[in-house]
A and B are shown apart, each in its own frame.
Chain A
Amino acid sequence: MTPDATPHPERSHQRAGVLSPAIGEAAARACADHPGADGDLLSLRDVTMVFPGVVALDGVGFSLQRGEVHAVCGENGAGKSTLMKVLSGQYRPASGTVTYKGSERRFASSLEAQRAGIAMIHQELNLVPHLSVAENIYLAREPRRWGFVDRARLARDSRRCLDRLGLAVSPDAIVGQLSVAQQQMVEIAKALSLDAEVLIMDEPTSSLTGAETAQLFDVIRELRGAGVGIIYISHRLDELAQIVDRVTVLRDGRYIGTERFADTSIDEIVSRMVGRPLQDMFPPRTSLPCEDSVLSVTGLSRGTRLGPVSFELRRGEILGFAGLMGAGRTEVARAVFGADPVDSGTVRLGGDVLAIRSPIDAIRQGIAYLSEDRKGQGLAVNMSVAENVTMACMRAVSNRFGFISHAAEDAAAQRFIDELGIRTPSSRQLARLLSGGNQQKVVIAKWLFRESRVIFFDEPTRGIDVGAKFAIYQLMDALAAKGIGVVMISSELPEIMGMTDRIAVFHEGRINAVLHTRATSQEEVMHFASGSRQALAVHH
């Protein structure tokens, strides 16, 4: 690919006021200021960003036009997040220039960039959970009257922002009580209320359902129509086709190239991201499950929301938990693991009934659970890689008086750094300084170090790049081949279809069907996930 700075003539005319007049006007006004509106709205030239020990960006260029959706792709650690932080004013690059609306800018802070019209929507949302939607949208910019908050105008203005997005949420709703998708829309509403001309979206769909994603894309298309430039980062490459105009690929902090999406393909993008042609998405399964069950759960229930749930997991099996968000997949895993209390239910491990009251009991019996919330529940980000790896099994690196052998600990950590290919300068590096995929590998290493009989992987590949995903799939297969029972919870059906032996399909807190992966289809899984009790009439 070659760096492509050709503007999109067909886009620059799409400034029809599909959206609110306000945005259209803001963009139009800005265009009037700069007659050369066909030029770049925002561009980076030769930007280098160095952190102690790492060159995060190495002479990277990038350009964004008005009314364009521009995807930035790359593996974890390729420099996407750093690039976005440079664009949004959070980092100041060591060298290189940022040009916005025709003039060179050095934003001192993200606030300054925001005032200039560059808004970023982070993967971890930046909302105040205890305040209302309206208060969040106008946080620190509350409309005032006689020095007091003008509540009537606040409600009116925020209502208008929400309507613009077709969002059926009350401005008075408390943000903490909304779904993640709704919260994300509130973030977008906030950005719109700022008259943002550049919107940076970091993994906006990672926790959205299909319908919510479709709604988000409608909004993105409307914003594009109104002349907003959108930078879109996502690991879900299959989504790109629906909305993206151009794609820029980064690898190891270096600029690889920019191309129109129509002129390239997902496969090509992926091979440029990883720097080699990619064969299959999933590794072949190397073993078959045994007949005997390792984990058997019967009648697990809590309140009215969960269960009763019963299922069997065989030795060497990968069992998928499919279903919509909130269908009870994570809840069942956490209940078996003892992380949440249950009202009733029996858990048998290799035939013995277990009394699991806390994760301590579960871990002692050989059950492991990799949380879906990596930073919140999986990783101690201020501790080192080695300390995280050994956290669930201090016994193995300490003597019987509880004294830790730092040498043994480092050796253990180094083993997994090598085996899993964790990119870190040393085992003493703080976990928060690693990229997302490498952090996930650290969490996985924690559970590999603690040898378990049953492992629950809850969304193990969320927010992780293609190469790391493949490594994690291989690992799951290797675990199954060793006779370990693996449960894979995932919202991405293709990986459930690609990796599992059987699929338990959840609907509203219960298992609606258990399907043999080889004898079913994505359609059938979705069919059961949406609550239907009958098998599909047309069976592939």
Chain B
Amino acid sequence: MNQRRKDLVQKFAALGSLLVLMIAFSFTSDAFFSVGNGMTVALQVTSIAYLGIGATCVIITGGIDLSVGSILALSGVAAALAVKAGVPVPLAMLLGLLTGAACGLVNGFFIAHLRLPPFIATLGMMLVARGLALQVTGAKAIGGLGDSFAELGNGALWRVVKVGTDGFPDVVFRGIPYPVLVMIVLAILVSIMLNRTTLGRHIYAVGSNAEAARLSGVNVTRVTLFVYVLSGALAGLTGCVLMSRLVTAQPSEGVMYELDAIAASVIGGTSLSGGVGSISGTGIGAFVIGILRNGLNMAGVSSFIQQIIIGLVILLTVWVDRLRNRR
């Protein structure tokens, strides 16, 4: 079977399970299959998707990033502290994003230059970033950030509001939430980067055979640095969006999010041994997790049972993937 057809089968398999989930949940709850709930799911999925996009790039190079959950907390806190110090909101958010990128740069430095295994380097960063976030805030949430801080996480494009006959505003269309918009734009940009640019090709080459790539003149160090900086920056963005949605900066936010991100990549067909993976797959993976959570919630399934189910889904999809790739 040629590669393209195999990719298609892979996509359809993941997509198929996504559809099955949606149909199943539309039976368990009438409210599931509605535009409103669709937007809710999309909004809930954004964090996993941002982080998953970063994780996919990292995993394609054969690496792993365990630090994104902590980095997003530190970045959100940094942005909030900046706002408290009087920095305008957009600039503060940019600062949060750069904080994430800086953490990623440190990860990349340890991995590419000091040759630490990615697992260890990012495990260290996971503890350091979380510790920093808790230390600078005294483990307390930062509130009172103002309406403009909430705009990124709660605003929407094409929101239609009519003033009703009773004089109260009436929401006709909720619009497309900004986080969802950002997710779509990011997915398209990174997908183009991976598939159409030399940088993307080099990312695959490094994961497929790092030594062959190096001897072909690929700057392996720079490519490695790039993916960790990207992953860190996306974690920073996730932190800003998440804290904006809550209008509070929580230093304990995002625990275990890195595992959701990795799970989304893996469900989407990214291989942990490197060289294989796609953004579209990761998007599907993120939605599988998001819809499972949402649907199970609406069906009144406890969060403990949800964990069990999601765990089993990961095992099942990867096992099916293995079966398909075996001769």
Contact (Cβ within 8 A) B197 A404 = yes
In Å, the complex CA distance between A426 and B196 comes to 20
In Å, the complex CA distance between A450 and B216 comes to 10
By a CB distance below 8 angstroms, the chain B residues around A404 are 196-198, 201
In Å, the complex CA distance between A402 and B200 comes to 9
Which of A26-34, A285-293, A386-394 is the contact stretch? A386-394
Residue-wise interface mask of A (395-438) relative to B, using a CB-CB cutoff of 8 A (1 in contact, 0 not): 10010011110000000000000000000011011100000000
Number of interface residues of B (CB under 8 A): 26
Q: Which of B197, B198, B199, B205 contacts A383 (CB 8 A)?
A: B205
Given contacts A52-B1, A360-B217, A363-B217, contact A398 B212 (CB under 8 A): no
Q: Which of B3, B4, B201, B275 contacts A394 (CB 8 A)?
A: B201
By a CB distance below 8 angstroms, the chain B residues around A467 are none
In Å, the complex CA distance between A429 and B198 comes to 20
By a CB distance below 8 angstroms, the chain B residues around A392 are 216-217
Contact (Cβ within 8 A) B211 A383 = no
Contact (Cβ within 8 A) B198 A394 = yes
In Å, the complex CA distance between A382 and B276 comes to 8
Contact (Cβ within 8 A) B3 A430 = yes
Given contacts A394-B201, A404-B198, A428-B4, contact A359 B208 (CB under 8 A): no
B142: interface (CB < 8 Å): no
A396 to chain B, nearest CB (A): 11
Contact (Cβ within 8 A) A384 B197 = no
Given contacts A380-B209, A383-B205, contact A402 B199 (CB under 8 A): yes
In Å, the complex CA distance between A378 and B210 comes to 10
A453 to chain B, nearest CB (A): 15
Q: Which of A53, A359, A401, A402 contacts B215 (CB 8 A)?
A: A359
A339: interface (CB < 8 Å): yes
Contact (Cβ within 8 A) B212 A379 = yes
A13: interface (CB < 8 Å): no
Contact (Cβ within 8 A) B2 A429 = yes
Given contacts A402-B198, A403-B197, contact A380 B213 (CB under 8 A): yes
By a CB distance below 8 angstroms, the chain B residues around A425 are 2
Contact (Cβ within 8 A) B2 A426 = yes
Closest to B219 in A: A360
By a CB distance below 8 angstroms, the chain A residues around B212 are 371, 376-380, 391
By a CB distance below 8 angstroms, the chain A residues around B214 are 339, 358-359
Contact (Cβ within 8 A) A391 B211 = no
By a CB distance below 8 angstroms, the chain A residues around B202 are 394
A369: interface (CB < 8 Å): yes
In Å, the complex CA distance between A381 and B211 comes to 12
Contact (Cβ within 8 A) A391 B219 = no
B97 to chain A, nearest CB (A): 23
Given contacts A376-B211, A402-B198, A404-B196, contact A384 B216 (CB under 8 A): no
CB-contacts of B1-34 with A (<8 A) = 1-4
A462: interface (CB < 8 Å): no
By a CB distance below 8 angstroms, the chain A residues around B213 are 380, 391
By a CB distance below 8 angstroms, the chain A residues around B216 are 359, 363, 391-392, 446
Number of interface residues of A (CB under 8 A): 39
B204: interface (CB < 8 Å): yes
Contact (Cβ within 8 A) A428 B3 = yes
B125: interface (CB < 8 Å): no
By a CB distance below 8 angstroms, the chain A residues around B218 are 360, 391
B293 to chain A, nearest CB (A): 33
A45: interface (CB < 8 Å): no
By a CB distance below 8 angstroms, the chain B residues around A360 are 217-219
Contact (Cβ within 8 A) B197 A402 = yes
In Å, the complex CA distance between A387 and B207 comes to 13
CB-contacts of B85-143 with A (<8 A) = none
Contact (Cβ within 8 A) A384 B198 = no
A364: interface (CB < 8 Å): yes
By a CB distance below 8 angstroms, the chain A residues around B275 are 380, 382-383
B139 to chain A, nearest CB (A): 44
In Å, the complex CA distance between A395 and B197 comes to 10
Q: Which of A53, A339, A369, A381 contacts B209 (CB 8 A)?
A: A381
Contact (Cβ within 8 A) A377 B217 = no
In Å, the complex CA distance between A377 and B1 comes to 26
Given contacts A339-B215, A376-B211, A378-B212, contact A391 B1 (CB under 8 A): no
Contact (Cβ within 8 A) A383 B196 = no
Residue-wise interface mask of B (212-238) relative to A, using a CB-CB cutoff of 8 A (1 in contact, 0 not): 111111110000000000000000000
Closest to B1 in A: A52
Closest to B214 in A: A359
Given contacts A52-B1, A359-B214, A363-B217, contact A398 B208 (CB under 8 A): no
Closest to B275 in A: A382
By a CB distance below 8 angstroms, the chain A residues around B209 are 376-377, 379-382
Contact (Cβ within 8 A) A403 B208 = no
By a CB distance below 8 angstroms, the chain A residues around B208 are 380-383
Closest to B274 in A: A382
By a CB distance below 8 angstroms, the chain B residues around A381 are 208-209
A259 to chain B, nearest CB (A): 33
In Å, the complex CA distance between A364 and B201 comes to 19
7 A-B pairs with C-beta separation under 8 A: A51-B327, A378-B212, A382-B209, A384-B3, A394-B198, A394-B202, A404-B197
Apart from A377-B209, A446-B216, what are 8 other A-B pairs with CB-CB below 8 Å? A337-B215, A339-B214, A359-B215, A360-B219, A382-B276, A387-B205, A402-B198, A402-B199
For the complex of A and B, 7 pairs with smallest distance between CB atoms? A380-B208, A363-B217, A392-B216, A394-B198, A380-B209, A402-B197, A391-B216
